[in-house]
Chains A and B, each alone.
Chain A
């Protein structure tokens, strides 16, 4: 559309590529500078430390007067990120956008969002519930997700190749994710109900829905779980 938009985006891509210190990488998905993948290392002293996080970036026609569109490609366990779609709830990507934000500064904001969740304005209500009911237990699950999903990522990759590549990396390492752990549940809790004769995935679904995690476990009676499993 406009030359100014192209000039600005190209300059921003070059800025990121020249700045090694920030740890932020930007790569083109195809030939267009308007569809990119950004990668940044998980912030230190957070459950995301040690992971590399890929973000799908679309530069809209109205850029920089309209916000950049971003969503996580790497699966992230965080109250403001959809655990399903990677959609992000962050004000600067919506009504707080300002044209002085750049690819780099927006990715940096995303990185600091990982350190400072806003559970009261969640993107993923279930994860937010987990965060609010037992912080330590939430962090365990977030760390597990980082290990399972964010370690295989070595550099920016196009979104479609991600699932396969990450799965391949995990298989190579001999790691296989356990759906109970991914859901932030304790194996012994899941086994307890599986041993009553219920199907494992159904148990995981119900326990997840009831937020059967950390300190909240004592608020959920066994009867309640069994009733849910029986569909009562």
Chain B
């Protein structure tokens, strides 16, 4: 196979390249852009995110909102390779079990994760292939509360290291993809109505079948997760999570000045009727704040095993948000302090 360098020079017209060459070029650019990013980063203070969007008032306002109105103080980035949702999910999932430090819960989680293997089998995946991807997840989970003196107990630092080993990290991503796919296929009556045709991938028009959707959008490496996939994985692992949407799309439309009638009092500062109670006031302010971030909850109704916190979604990319430590969990890292 010829490498990209052989046919692309600064003078090359993009139109002159074949489909395969264009794909190789796009892949190479993507690889170059992301190769230096860790697969899962250490916690960074949320202020770094503000700096990133210095010149983007729309986004900046929402980040400030996240910082001031919610309890998020940091961000843990996942590499922007299209696998970020699954990688961040896998990491947050194991981290949560680690932090809860609760032997019966750990035992319950291990049993449940093991039981998901049968979903993959029922969905028709080849056991000899998917067991390879399950193995690294199982191994990490077995490094907690182990009775075997030879086992090296997992801690946060070792977990970050493991998630930056491509072999381990990618295997877990693949297992979560297959589990998502299996869950969707086994519940296709419920989920098929939610499949929307994606213009780029389904030129034939009309929504895809569940089989097509799963092979094109779930099992394929590098394909980002959307609402349907998140719901499925959350249910399959009995794990709730929140997703904060950082995008311009959900900002309320600006009211054109011409529509304001003379003498009309605009709602906002000093306007509106005061709602008694500080808390209600704060909630009202948050609702009316144009910088408010939509936070969507993926709640497992009945039988929830745990919740793994909040992901930050920017168009096409997921990262993990880090809560301020609450008095109940004093062991949480505080990046602002450790940074100096």
The interface of chain A, by Cβ under 8 A from chain B, is 2, 4, 8, 11, 58, 62, 65-66, 69, 71, 82, 87-89, 94-100, 102, 120-123
Contacts and interface: CB of A to CB of B under 8 A. Distances in A.
A65 B170 contact: yes
A9 to B, nearest CB: 12
Nearest to B175: A99
A226 B206 CA distance: 46
A97 B220 contact: yes
Among B23, B166, B219, B221, residue most surrounded by chain A Cβ atoms (within 10 Å): B221
5 contacts: A4-B132, A65-B174, A89-B19, A100-B129, A120-B203
Given A4-B167, A100-B130, 14 more contacts: A4-B132, A65-B166, A82-B18, A95-B220, A96-B215, A96-B216, A96-B220, A98-B177, A98-B215, A99-B129, A99-B133, A99-B170, A120-B203, A123-B20
A94 B178 contact: no
Among B129, B130, B203, B215, residue most surrounded by chain A Cβ atoms (within 10 Å): B129
Nearest to A125: B18
A4 B169 CA distance: 13
Contacts of A2: 167
Contact of A99 (B18, B215, B221): B221
B328 interface: no
A11 B128 CA distance: 10
Given A87-B18, A89-B20, A102 B167 contact: no
B220 A98 contact: yes
B265 interface: no
Given A123-B19, A123-B20, A100 B1 contact: no
Nearest to A71: B1
A97 B177 CA distance: 13
Contacts of A120: 203
Contacts of A82: 18
A69 B3 CA distance: 12
Interface of B: 1, 18-20, 23, 125-126, 128-130, 132-133, 166-167, 170, 174, 177-178, 203, 215-216, 219-223
Contact of B221 (A71, A98, A102): A98
Q: DSSP class of B's interface residues: helix, strand, loop or mixed?
A: helix
Given A65-B166, A95-B23, A100-B130, A58 B220 contact: no
Nearest to A61: B166
B174 A99 contact: yes
Contacts of A58: 1
Contacts of B1: 58, 69, 71
A102 B23 contact: no
Contacts of A102: 129
A194 B221 CA distance: 53
Contacts of B18: 82, 87, 123
A4 to B, nearest CB: 6
A78 to B, nearest CB: 14
A87 B20 contact: yes
B156 to A, nearest CB: 25
Contacts of B220: 95-98
Contacts of B125: 100
A66 B334 CA distance: 37
A97 B221 contact: yes
A8 B20 contact: no
Contacts of B130: 100
Contacts of B221: 65-66, 97-99
Nearest to A102: B129
A2 B126 CA distance: 22
A121 B204 CA distance: 12
Contacts of B215: 96, 98
Nearest to B135: A4
Contacts of B223: 95
